[in-house]
Amino acid sequence: MRKMVQKTSVCLVLGAASWLLPLCAGAQTIVDVAYVQAAILRGVQVWDVRDARDYAKGHVPGALSLGDAATLLRDPNSEDFIATARVEALLGAAGIDPAREAVVYGARGTWNAYFGRYTLRYFGGNKVSVLHDGLEGWQAAGLPVSTQAATTASVKLKLTPQPEVAVTTADMIRRLNSPAVQIIDVRTPKEFSGEDIRALRGGHIPGAINIPFEQNWVDPETQLKLAKKQVRDSSGMALKSSTDLKALYAQLDPEKETVVYCQSGVRASETAGVLEQLGFKKVRVYDSSWLGYGNQLDAPADNTTVFNVGALNNRMTAMLARIDVLEKELASAKRAE
């Protein structure tokens, strides 16, 4: 690590990761393992957002956990944050304080760590970084993991949502057709086109540009390749170089307000973090995203398709009838043995 002193500020040039920008001291957006090591020595809190089972198998020594953050902190239906009082209780019990500097990690490349960062920022944190390479990056550096749960005192929190971090559905509608606002839809092309319907209707917000969040990775097809056993590990989910990321978002203006959305705000949090790392000045996550927008039927939309509830019910009824037949055939076969 090399330190460069300019007047009273200290800037860090960390590791050899080409996507890291030399930003001045204080929490950076996306960091490498060397930064995390130094942060731990400074007493920075580290939050592992993975589920309890993965955490128990091995984690960065001293990392805090409350379990699967995206599941526990969001309403299962709306996928928005649960009541603030409940968030206070869950974070506080785990010893996680948004007011403190933090590094968040999960599995390499996944949006979960960025959602954790967004959570802390939404509830007042202003020094929150993400280890994009996650636990895999930590282990690849030859660093030890722990299977012992971190012991830390609980904290009593009083949290206030920060409106400058996110936009609501009403905010989103007010921003339509504004030349001062640019909108990024980070869902899949089929979701964007309305072919893949995940709300009462499909489509996208007028004026939105579709750049799926996986395009931030060295190989955007990595998850599909892993499912097909075409690759052995998640190395393709490493972040692209700074040069390639700048090219990916070259059509956007870093000086404008940038609103990022997906289906429920979680994938959007990753692209939001990448844009902030690239120097975009005013990035906001549309938290309710298409789930909220698509279900508000009077909100203007492009490529609109309609979800046919009746047809779905008919298919489910037919499927249940078929399952009933198969269960009876299986029971009959067992009696005949």
Q: Percent of the chain, pLDDT > 70?
A: 90
The answer on pLDDT for 326 being more than 90 is no
Q: Is the separation of the CB atoms in 196 and 305 below 8 Å?
A: no
- The stretch 141-145 carries a mean pLDDT of 97
- So what's the pLDDT on residue 312? 63
Quote helix, strand, coil % in the chain, to nearest 5: 35, 20, 45
- So what's the pLDDT on residue 331? 82
Q: Hey, what amino acid is at 240?
A: K
pLDDT digits (tens, 9 = 90+) for 160-198: 999 899 999 999 999 999 999 999 999 999 999 999 999
The answer on pLDDT for 302 being more than 80 is yes
How many whole angstroms separate alpha carbon 22 and alpha carbon 177? 35
Beta-carbon contacts of residue 92 (< 8 Å; ≥ 6 apart): 154, 155, 156, 157
The CATH classification number of 2-140 equals 3.40.250.10
Q: Hey, where are the domains in the chain? A: 2-140, 166-211+249-309
Phi, psi of 89 (to 5 degrees): -65, -45
Mean pLDDT, the chain, rounded, equals 90
How many whole angstroms separate alpha carbon 259 and alpha carbon 165? 10
- The stretch 76-80 carries a mean pLDDT of 92
Name the token pair of 86. Answer: 């409940």
How many whole angstroms separate alpha carbon 268 and alpha carbon 261? 5
The answer on pLDDT for 9 being more than 60 is no
Does 166-211+249-309 match 2-140 at the fold level?
Answer: yes
The CATH classification number of 166-211+249-309 equals 3.40.250.10
3-state DSSP call for residue 103?
Answer: strand
pLDDT digits (tens, 9 = 90+) for 193-252: 999 999 999 999 999 999 999 999 999 999 999 999 999 999 999 999 999 999 999 999
